[in-house]
Structure 1
Amino acid sequence: MPNTIRVAVSGAGAISEFHLKGWQAQDDVELVAISDPDLDRARARAAEFSIPQVFDDTEKMLDEVKPDAVDIITPVGTHATLVRMAADRSIHVKCQKPMTPTVAEAEELIGAVGDKVRFMVHENYRFRPHYAEVAQRVSNNEVGKVMAARLTVRSSSLNDYPGKTPFLLGRQPYLANFKRLLVFEILIHHLDALRSILGELEVVSAHLGQVNKALSGEDMALVTLRTIDGALVLIDANVSALGYPPLPTDRLEIMGDADTLVLDREKLFLMSREEPVTVHDLKANYQACFTGAVSAFVEGLRSGKTFPTDRMDNLKTLRLMEDIYRAAGVDI
């Protein structure tokens, strides 16, 4: 890689703010261009982040600017086309999750890209400082052998009181039409984080439900998984739970043969002792996970090491997501 990595960004939607702040935090990285079909939106982001060139077409941007890497922050249905476009021009890729709508499409895309370029999926939950600390403490054997785990996810992301627009639908209104919603759009993050903490998982059973009947997809899920060592993992999620905050709040219990480690929203502690308790700033951690993912991509480009969420690793998370839908009787 050159001393300064020149990066272009495809997509100027709401989530691009957090990507761009992540890029600004890097040393020797230059944001050289941004594209979006909505040129005014691209111009607004360019002005906010001092990006010199603006386009309404990603292909034109890649051809004219010739960046070293591109960050794809566009709807999932566009990912495969844009990734191929970049790979064909020898431009390294960081692509927002999910990589593609289905595992079959992801496998086809990975095969087409091959080793033309480095290719990382922006799956950021494992970079959240509280989840990274859980992974480190489990790795340090603080709970001993993991026997079971339970993750509870609650929010009002997809439901609100009459006359109000649910938070996530206000930010991403197209989600209302997703026939695969909670697992595909939200729990996929948690699945990847659990893989980083517990290792590979297999789906035992899954049940999906719906609170907000205006949605096309599910907003509730009960999923049972099993680790390679036989520990049972239960995910209990409801993101249309009135009274909860608009962003998901998580409680994760890792139960081992020596102790139980609990992440309860911002607090992380062992059940066997009153102290110490780690208290995380969840608002700060939200940006931190975007910055962490960008940092991992930059470090991987410079060192040649495999990205933590390399396309091959992320394929395993996609397969878990699809297996949950199959177990619940949903067609892929």
Structure 2
Amino acid sequence: MKTLKIAIAGAGAISEFHLKGWREQDGIELCAICDPDPKRAQARADEFGIRNVFADTETMLLKTRPDAVDIITPVNTHAPLVRLCADLGIDVMCQKPMTPTVPEAEALIEYVGDRVRFMVHENYRFRPHYAEVGNRIQNGELGKVRHARLTVRSSSVFDYGDKTPFLLGRQPYFGVFTHLLVFEVLIHHLDALRSIFGEMTVVAAALDRINPVLNGEDAAVITLRSEDGVLIVIDANISALGYPPLPTDRLEVLGEADTLVLDRETISLLSRNEPVTIHDLQANYQACFSGAVREFANGLRTGAPFATDRLDNLKTLRLMSSVYEKAGNPL
């Protein structure tokens, strides 16, 4: 197996989970990491045994010439860094959202063309509990699916007392985003639902702000319909006091033969006496990062298409943008 040289752009909070994913893969050399904060980059380098540390991406790429780059930086930096990789002939995986808007994503995709492999790190579809739901629907356990409802709850951006809310503590710049819940959180769920139900259109959307210190929305109700006619409702609130800081999901899928319910860590069919599947959500949190990394590494080695390549992810970005348009708050 050829060893792949991987460079990491960005050493923020999320990079820990990317790097753990890379460490799980065989035949990988983490050759370099960069971040504008040298201390932060050095800390990650020390933790994961990366020998080369840089303050900017271009210098890192020119000096180390990796096979591929994992971009884990704020969304407004994605397009310039992906363009740089394309110009240097280096394959790239980029954190979601690909770009702040659909036109910017379309321009980026056109610029890159087929010069390099380009995947977006959209990882919820790699979560084992969502993958199980999709597999059981595809295996026909529910018959024809007619209706689904996804409820998302957390206290990510509005917590008790004087504590700094979890999501704002980890990524404080989210507090100034004018588009927040759908743009940063539900985009994951939209992609996972696409992987389960196929392409969807937004029928209606309403947004709200519970925490008054935020600029963007922290609550949403969205109605969608799939190309196969499945009616899907998303009801989300990440300022829900009393809920855990990380989002908890409940997905109910109603078919003509049975109803399947994913409720946090459990998956069950309602009309059959069978064992309930129990997932370790903490393990699954890392598993989805590792799954996306594995998809990228395997695709580089085999030439297989990425499940979340730039063209597939553009569909998710368009769907997310359509939610804001329906809610009267376009990107």
Q: Does 1:230 align with 2:256?
A: no
User: Offset of 1:162 from its aligned partner?
Assistant: 2.8
Counterpart amino acid of residue 49 in structure 2: S
- Match in the other structure for 1:248: 247
User: Offset of 1:276 from its aligned partner?
Assistant: 1.6
Aligned equivalents of 2:149, 2:270: Cα separation in 1: 14
Aligned equivalents of 1:271, 1:161: Cα separation in 2: 35
Cα deviation, 1:147-170, whole Å, max 9, x if unaligned, reads 010000000001012311111001
- Match in the other structure for 2:73: 74
- SS class of match (1:197): helix
Aligned equivalents of 2:49, 2:311: Cα separation in 1: 34
Counterpart amino acid of residue 70 in structure 2: D
User: Offset of 1:101 from its aligned partner?
Assistant: 0.2
- Match in the other structure for 1:202: 201
User: Offset of 1:322 from its aligned partner?
Assistant: 0.4
Q: Does 1:10 align with 2:30?
A: no
Counterpart amino acid of residue 313 in structure 1: D
Counterpart amino acid of residue 152 in structure 2: V
Counterpart amino acid of residue 306 in structure 1: P
Counterpart amino acid of residue 145 in structure 2: V
Cα deviation, 1:94-150, whole Å, max 9, x if unaligned, reads 000000000000000000000000000000000000001011111101111110100
Cα deviation, 1:77-98, whole Å, max 9, x if unaligned, reads 0000000001111100000000
- SS class of match (2:88): coil
- Match in the other structure for 1:288: 287
- Match in the other structure for 1:145: 144
Aligned equivalents of 1:118, 1:24: Cα separation in 2: 21
Aligned equivalents of 1:152, 1:262: Cα separation in 2: 11
Aligned equivalents of 2:299, 2:252: Cα separation in 1: 32
Counterpart amino acid of residue 237 in structure 1: A
- Match in the other structure for 1:259: 258
- Match in the other structure for 2:157: 158
Counterpart amino acid of residue 204 in structure 2: S
Taking the TM superposition and a 5 Å limit, the aligned residue runs for 1:119-134 are 119-134=118-133
Aligned equivalents of 1:133, 1:229: Cα separation in 2: 20
Aligned equivalents of 1:52, 1:274: Cα separation in 2: 54
Counterpart amino acid of residue 262 in structure 1: V
Q: Does 1:311 align with 2:304?
A: no
Counterpart amino acid of residue 225 in structure 1: L
User: Offset of 1:179 from its aligned partner?
Assistant: 0.3
User: Offset of 1:320 from its aligned partner?
Assistant: 0.5
Cα deviation, 1:157-209, whole Å, max 9, x if unaligned, reads 01012311111001010000000000000000000000000000000000000
- TM-score under structure 2 length normalisation: 0.99
- Match in the other structure for 1:183: 182
Aligned residues: 331
Aligned equivalents of 2:58, 2:311: Cα separation in 1: 25
Counterpart amino acid of residue 53 in structure 1: N
8 Å contact from structure 2 (residues 321, 330) kept in 1: no
- Match in the other structure for 1:323: 322
- Match in the other structure for 2:84: 85
Identical positions, percent = 68
Counterpart amino acid of residue 138 in structure 1: I
8 Å contact from structure 2 (residues 6, 28) kept in 1: yes
Q: Does 1:168 align with 2:167?
A: yes
Aligned equivalents of 2:323, 2:277: Cα separation in 1: 32
Counterpart amino acid of residue 108 in structure 2: L
Cα RMSD after superposing both structures = 0.7
- TM-score under structure 1 length normalisation: 0.99
**Alignment gaps of 5+ in structure 1:** none
User: Offset of 1:331 from its aligned partner?
Assistant: 2.7
- Match in the other structure for 1:20: 19
- Match in the other structure for 1:37: 36
Aligned equivalents of 1:307, 1:136: Cα separation in 2: 18
Aligned equivalents of 1:40, 1:104: Cα separation in 2: 35
